[in-house]
Amino acid sequence: MTLNPADESFAARLRQTLPEAVFRPTEPRYLEEPRGRWAGQCGVLALPRNVDEVSALVTAAAAARVPVVPYGGGTGLVGGQVMPDGPAPLIISLERMAAIRGVYATENLLIAEAGAVLADVQEAAQQADRLFPLSLAAEGTARIGGNLSTNAGGTGVLRYGNARELCLGLEAVLPDGRIWHGLSRLRKDNTGYDLRDLLIGAEGTLGVITAATLKLFPRPAAEGTALVVVPNPQAAIELLALARDQLGEAVSAFELIAGQGLHFLSETLPEIRQPFADPPDWCVLIELGLPRGQDPESALTGLFEAALERGLVSDGLIAQSQSQRAQFWSLREHIPAANRRIGAICSHDISVPISQIPDFIVQGGQVIAALGQFRINCFGHLGDGNLHFNVFPVAGRSKADHANQRDAIQGAVHDLVHAMGGSFSAEHGVGRLKVADLERYGDPVKLAAMRAIKAALDPAGIMNPGAVLRG
């Protein structure tokens, strides 16, 4: 079924039903994505102020068979936010729908519009003495509608779950332009198919999320952070089990850091203070969030002593102040920036069953070594089985030198991940970058069901064409 561009005549029709204030001239930022792999196009840029305007826009696009690209903060890493080819789309940016519609502290929830910046949602929760635990590097720019559309992960998943698990209800405009009013404040509601979880993670291909009910949590009364040296990834996994055994759900982050990452940091960002004079091969950043009456330092000391006895750690630092906590986290959070300065040949956002992580790291290294001389920086959310396994040139060479090897490296890593029962996209989604991976590795029956659902809800195929499923 062919689509039509959002051309002058379509723009003119839109202006008959929607106020002029909704429309803006295109700016480059709507056509770029962080990895610079694609340049988007734009026929019409609309910045609606409420769900009725979103509905009117999508209704018009459906009638005219014009593609629609929903736009959040633009921080997605798989090109879901840019449509580089085909008829020029109507881009609907949610940035003017950024209100927190209500905070219900006793119910531990708030209702945010899709355009609310993630950091502002966190802030609204904090003002009500609650925690909204979704946390990721782009939180100052990413918008909650995009976080939900991509089922964002981040550092809080271990304890609190992905974006999907933090959402109780949605308001959304479906591909025919109709509004689904699903902003439930209920914890339990078993009345029909789970449309919410279908839209979450659909990357804008099944509709436009316009608002969401989000779960809040008690803020931990005390937090503690430690950076510990482990002999190898297997020990890190055993340390996590020990930590959960001793501390239950209080373990709120458990991030693996490779020595390579620390070396990249000292090379490219020497101003970031490093706690170990000699970067260890592997260390783990542990964060605890404890209820009242429990002392993080003694909890971390107890864990460290028990781990030392079992040979799971060899050294470690417990943060003694807020600024030391911030320093440890800054180490973790600047790893992607250091990676960018070195210049990865390719990045992988993979997950495998947690017990397979050590094997994956070993075999992944072998697979890469068989293809040539490279450096690997492997880091991430160990507790979730999710690693960012990024491949770099050796010192003195550049990623451009290896451009023709990128596909082979990526294919080798993804083949290995697939053979281990893992995923080629743990948290970033499919977007446009991984459509072929989904076709190659996805279960064919699931793919057929996805295509049937897409055709049923979006028969003209107007919603974010080319993302997730081939158009």
Segment 344-373, which members bind a second copy (CB under 8 A)? 351-355
CB of 405 to a second copy, least distance (A): 24
Residues 39-58 contacting a second copy, CB under 8 A: none
CB of 452 to a second copy, least distance (A): 4
CB of 82 to a second copy, least distance (A): 18
68 and 471 Cβ atoms separated by less than 8 Å: no
For β-strands 44-46 and 90-93, DSSP reports them as: parallel
Q: Is 326 in the site for a second copy (CB under 8 A)?
A: no
Q: What share of the chain is helix, strand, coil (3-state, %, to 5)?
A: 40, 20, 40
Whole-Å CA distances, 370 to 125, 351, 398, 450? 49, 22, 19, 36
Whole-Å CA distances, 261 to 281, 387, 391? 9, 13, 11
Calculate the dihedral angle through the C-alpha atoms of 226, 229, 234, 239, rounding to the nearest 10 degrees. Answer: -30
Q: Is 21 in the site for a second copy (CB under 8 A)?
A: no
CB of 319 to a second copy, least distance (A): 21
Q: Is 396 in the site for a second copy (CB under 8 A)?
A: no
CB of 37 to a second copy, least distance (A): 18
Instruction: Give the contacts of 430 (CB within 8 A, at least 6 positions apart).
Output: 78, 80, 203, 437, 438, 467, 468
Q: Is 465 in the site for a second copy (CB under 8 A)?
A: no
Of these, 385, 393, 461, 465, which contacts a second copy (CB under 8 A)? 385
Q: Is 179 in the site for a second copy (CB under 8 A)?
A: yes
CB of 383 to a second copy, least distance (A): 8
Residue reference for tokens 């750690």: 313
Which amino acid is it at 84? P
- Total interface residues for a second copy by CB under 8 A: 92
Q: Is 421 in the site for a second copy (CB under 8 A)?
A: yes
Query: Among residues 135 and 386, whose Cβ is nearest to a second copy?
Result: 386
Of these, 134, 138, 378, 438, which contacts a second copy (CB under 8 A)? 438
The whole-angstrom separation of Cα 385 and Cα 153 is 12
Whole-Å CA distances, 363 to 157, 288, 376, 383, 420? 26, 32, 12, 20, 11
Dig out the tokens for 236 from the structure.
């890190």
The whole-angstrom separation of Cα 199 and Cα 207 is 7
353 and 346 Cβ atoms separated by less than 8 Å: no
Residues 298-317 as x/- pattern, contact with a second copy by CB under 8 A: ----x---------------
Q: Is 7 in the site for a second copy (CB under 8 A)?
A: no
Q: Is 190 in the site for a second copy (CB under 8 A)?
A: yes
For a second copy, which stretch binds (CB under 8 A), given 114-122, 260-268, 394-402, 444-452? 444-452
Q: Is 425 in the site for a second copy (CB under 8 A)?
A: yes
Residues 276-295 contacting a second copy, CB under 8 A: 290-294
Residues 100-129 contacting a second copy, CB under 8 A: 104, 106-108
Residues 138-157 as x/- pattern, contact with a second copy by CB under 8 A: ------------xx-x---x
CB of 361 to a second copy, least distance (A): 16
Q: Is 386 in the site for a second copy (CB under 8 A)?
A: yes
Task: Give me the residues paired with residue 316 across strands.
Answer: 228
Task: Give me the residues paired with residue 289 across strands.
Answer: 223
CB of 172 to a second copy, least distance (A): 9
